[in-house]
């Protein structure tokens, strides 16, 4: 072999080696960047932290105020929370435990508040770690609902709060939507609610509740506040906030799926916009939200409109992430409770038992005497039930029929 051929072979080997090293370097960099992004965004952080002592009948607005400081208008955002009087929003509750739909071995723990046995019930969904049913925003919304005579169930998703931990990472709704379906099933089987009497709310990263809404037609209405409704977009939002290039989102989503054990884009909250049918959805979002951009709600709204679905929006001026709940409390409470009171069904009057009704006269008179009988009409759930009272001219006895009602 000539020297020239040897040099050519050596050059090809170097090029191949450089190529292989470059691929290895790129792959390691891709995984490294993805792990850094994903581990910060989806790491589980169970427990209630500083809110551990909060319960629906004894809670306050104390928060990690230092965590507000990097955000715009942090002083105002802190003030509207710190100075909020929650003394009238303390309610008795009962503990609830159940499992996700279709899964066993995971116990989810929540708080059920019943203020009216005939009223609808609302399932509440919290945001990202560290978070849960004990967070002040969850308890305040539960108070708004109770004040208006609406029942509620708040609970910790898996890997949050006091519910069981099955992974070091959350899946941004990809598994957690089954937890919400488990909550729905518990209300149906254990508390006697019917489809159409159950609604759902979600804050922030709890937007995965929309997947549950898409899958379960018995959930009659959905309220979304500052919700994550496009998972890749929220990764980009976080990268922008932290000053990283947005193209890091791709590795973050891919590696995040590896860590969570399920693709973070397998299911999308936007499915709810396609499957809502006539069920109403309410979107509220602060126009100045730096954490979850208003684009999430706007995209969902556009999808609902394109499907000619029932959507209402309230985009709040000069408010950030989940701020309207506190800073526009009267308006927020009114819109929230009016939405569910209108959208959901109340338990109906039902006929439990009726004594048999005689078709013959009860009076002691000659059959030759001319007389008439009256008929009593009762409307139950829009259906007319006619009851002959058998009262003739000389009848002196009344026939009673007994009905019981759920409300």
HEC letters along 326-392: HHCHHHHHHHHHHHHHHHCCCCCCCCCCCCCCCCCCCCCCCCCCCCCCCEEEEEECCEEEEEECCCC
Q: Which range among 184-198, 328-342, 367-381 shows the weakest confidence by mean pLDDT? A: 367-381
Q: Specify whether the CB–CB gap between 134 and 161 falls below 8 A.
A: yes
- Is the confidence at residue 19, as pLDDT, over 90? no
Instruction: Please indicate, yes or no, if residue 236 is contained in any of the structural domains.
Output: no
**258 Cα distance to chain centroid:** 26
Q: Which residue has the higher pLDDT, 390 or 311?
A: 311
CA separation (Å) from 240 to 100, 111, 291, 292?
A: 34, 36, 10, 11
- What span, in angstroms and rounded, lies between the C-alpha atoms of 194 and 197? 6
Q: Is residue 41 domain-resident?
A: no
- Percentage of the chain with pLDDT > 70? 76
Residue 365: domain span: 350-407
Between residues 392 and 149, which one has the greater pLDDT? 149
| pTM of the complete model | 0.80
Whether 57 and 91 have beta carbons less than 8 Å apart is answered as yes
- Split at pLDDT 50, 70, 90, the class of 374 is low
Q: With cut-offs at 50, 70 and 90, classify the pLDDT of residue 405.
A: very low
d(CA 127, CA 280): 22
Q: Is residue 61 part of a domain?
A: yes
**Same-domain check for residues 189 and 290:** yes
Using alpha carbons, select from 186, 31, 197, 8 the residue that is nearest to residue 107.
186
Residue 188 has pLDDT above 90, yes or no: yes
pLDDT digits (tens, 9 = 90+) for 272-282: 999 999 999 99
**For residue 380, what pLDDT is reported?**
57
Pairing of strands 198-203, 151-155: unpaired
Element (H, E) at 254: helix 249-260
Query: Which of 289, 309, 343 is the endpoint of a domain?
Result: 343
User: Per the domain annotation, does 239 fall within a domain?
Assistant: no
Average pLDDT over all residues of the chain: 84
Domain check: are 370 and 222 in the same one?
A: no
CA distance 226 to 244: 23
Total of domains in the chain: 2
Q: Which of 177, 338, 360, 181 is nearest to 269 (CA)?
A: 177
167 or 378: whose pLDDT is higher? 167
The SS3 call for residue 75 is helix
SS3 121: strand
Query: Band of the pLDDT at 174, cuts 50, 70, 90?
Result: very high
Say how many Å lie between the first and final Cα of the chain, rounded. 99
Residue-level pLDDT at 407: 40
Geometric angle at alpha carbon 141, from 106 and 156, rounded to 5°: 10
Is residue 291 located within the same domain as residue 322? Answer: yes
Give the integer Cα–Cα distance in Å for 158 and 182. Answer: 11
Checking if the pLDDT of 356 tops 50, the result is: no
Where among 301, 326, 343 does a domain terminate?
343
* Predicted local distance difference test score (pLDDT) of residue 96: 98
Alpha helices by DSSP H, listed for 43-155, are: 74-82, 136-147
């Amino acid at each position: 072999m000539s020297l020239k051929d040897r040099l050519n072979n050596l050059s090809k080997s170097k090029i191949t080696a450089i190529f292989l090293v470059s691929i290895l370097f790129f792959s390691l960099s891709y995984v490294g960047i993805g792990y850094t992004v994903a581990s910060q965004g989806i790491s589980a952080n169970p427990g209630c932290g500083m809110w551990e002592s909060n319960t629906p009948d004894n809670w306050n607005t104390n928060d990690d105020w230092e965590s507000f400081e990097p955000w715009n208008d942090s002083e105002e955002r802190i003030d509207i929370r710190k100075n909020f009087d929650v003394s009238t929003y303390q309610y008795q509750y009962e503990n609830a435990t159940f499992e996700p739909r279709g899964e066993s071995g995971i116990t989810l723990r929540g708080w059920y508040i019943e203020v009216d046995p005939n009223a609808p019930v609302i399932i509440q969904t919290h945001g990202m770690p560290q978070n849960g049913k004990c967070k002040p925003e969850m308890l305040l919304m539960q108070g708004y609902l109770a004040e208006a005579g609406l029942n509620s169930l708040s609970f910790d998703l898996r890997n949050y709060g006091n519910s069981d931990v099955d992974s070091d990472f959350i899946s941004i709704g990809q598994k957690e939507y089954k937890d919400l379906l488990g909550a729905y099933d518990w209300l149906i089987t254990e508390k006697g609610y019917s489809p159409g009497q159950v609604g759902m709310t979600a804050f922030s990263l709890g937007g995965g509740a929309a997947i549950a809404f898409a899958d379960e037609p018995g959930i009659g209405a959905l309220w979304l506040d500052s919700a994550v409704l496009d998972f890749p977009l929220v990764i980009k939002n976080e990268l922008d906030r932290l000053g990283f290039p947005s193209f890091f989102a791709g590795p973050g989503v891919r590696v995040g799926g590896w860590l969570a054990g399920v693709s973070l884009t397998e299911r999308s909250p936007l499915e709810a916009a396609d499957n809502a049918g006539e069920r109403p959805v309410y979107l509220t979002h602060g126009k100045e939200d730096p954490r979850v951009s208003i684009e999430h709600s706007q995209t969902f709204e556009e999808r609902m409109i394109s499907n000619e679905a029932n959507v209402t929006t309230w985009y709040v001026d000069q408010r950030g992430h989940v701020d309207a709940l506190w800073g526009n409390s009267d308006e927020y409470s009114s819109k929230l409770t009016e939405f569910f009171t209108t959208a959901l069904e109340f338990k109906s009057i039902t006929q439990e038992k009726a004594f048999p009704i005689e078709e013959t006269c009860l009076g002691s008179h000659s059959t030759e005497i001319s007389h008439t009988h009256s008929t009593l009409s009762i409307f139950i759930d829009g259906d007319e039930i006619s009851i002959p009272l058998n009262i003739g001219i000389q009848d002196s006895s009344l026939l009673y029929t007994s009905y019981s009602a759920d409300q």
